[in-house]
Amino acid sequence: MDGSQGEFAFEGAPLDPAAVRRFLADNPDFLRGDDGLLGELGLTLASAGNVVELAPLARVHAAHRREAEQRLMLEETARANFSAQAQTHGAVIDLLDARDNADLARRVDELARARFGLAAGVIALEVEASPPTGWFSLVEGQVDLLLEGSRRMTRMGFAPTARPLFGARGETVQSMAMVRIAVFEPACTGLLAFGSDDPEGFTPDMGAELLAFLARVVERTAERWPTE
C-alpha cells in the first residue's frame, strides 16, 4: 500500500481488513471519487457531497429481511399442512377399522378430540326413523339450513344453530366445520361436523379439502352396514 499516491497494492498477499481501513482513512477521497465502486456497494453520496449515505444498502437489507420472513412463513405453512395431512391419513386408518356404524360415530368423535384437539366430532343424518346408534338425527331440510344453501357442500366458522349437534358439549363450541355427506340406498343426506372451543379454530376463509376427504371416507365406511 502506498498511502502517498492513494493506491492500494496486494502483491499476492491476503487482503487485510485493518489495512483497508487505514487506507480509506488516509485517502478519504478514494470512495467519494469512485462512482462505480459506490454503486457496487449500494452506497450514494449525500447532497453535501462528502457524506456517504447508507439508505440504498439499508433498503437492500430490508428487502432481504422481508424475503427471509416470507420464506419462514412458507416453511411454517408447509410444515402445518404436512402435519394436518399426516393426522388426516392416520384418521382415515382409524375410521376404516370401525366395526359398525356405532363404532364409526365413536371413532369420529375420538379422532376429533385426540388427533385434532377439537371439542367434538359427530355424524348427523336426515331420517324419518332413528339413525344408526351414536348418530345425530336431523329433520328433512335441516342440512341445507345448517350449510346455508342446498348447493353448498361445506361451511366453516360459527353457526349457533349447529351447537345442538354436539350435545352437552355444544355450549363450549365456538366454531364449526360441517361437510355434507350422502349415505345408504336410497341416499340419505347428512353431515360430518367438527366443533372447536376456539373461535378461530374454523373460519370461513379456511380450506375444507381435508375435511371433505374425511367425509368421503365416512360415506364409504358407513355403507358397509346399510341396514343399520
Distance between CA atoms of 73 and 171, rounded to whole angstroms?
Answer: 34
176: CB partners within 8 A, 6+ apart: 155, 156, 157, 158, 159, 162, 165, 193, 194, 195, 196, 202
Count H helices and E strands in the chain, helices first.
Answer: 7, 7
Which is it for strands 52-53 and 175-183: parallel, antiparallel or unpaired? unpaired
- pLDDT in the model for residue 47: 47
Is the pTM higher than 0.85? The answer reads no
Nearest to 32 by CA among 8, 48, 19, 56: 48
Domain boundary assignment for the chain:
98-222
Q: Which three cell numbers stand for residue 105?
A: 360415530
Spell out the per-residue pLDDT of the chain, length 228, in tens: 444 444 445 455 566 777 776 776 677 666 666 666 666 665 555 544 444 454 555 566 667 777 877 777 777 766 666 666 667 777 888 899 999 999 999 999 999 999 889 999 999 999 888 899 999 999 999 999 999 998 899 999 999 999 999 999 999 999 999 999 999 888 899 999 999 999 999 999 988 888 899 999 999 999 999 865
Per the listing, cell 349457533 goes with: 160
Q: Are 179 and 153 in contact (CB under 8 A)?
A: yes
Burial of 17 (0-12, 13-18, 19+ CB in 10 A): exposed
Phi and psi at 138, nearest 5°, equal -120, 155
| Topology annotation, domain 98-222 | Beta-Lactamase (3.30.450)
In whole angstroms, give the CA distance from residue 204 to residue 68.
29
- Determine the longest span between alpha carbons in the chain, in angstroms: 103
Residue 3: per-residue pLDDT: 44
CA distance 183 to 66: 49
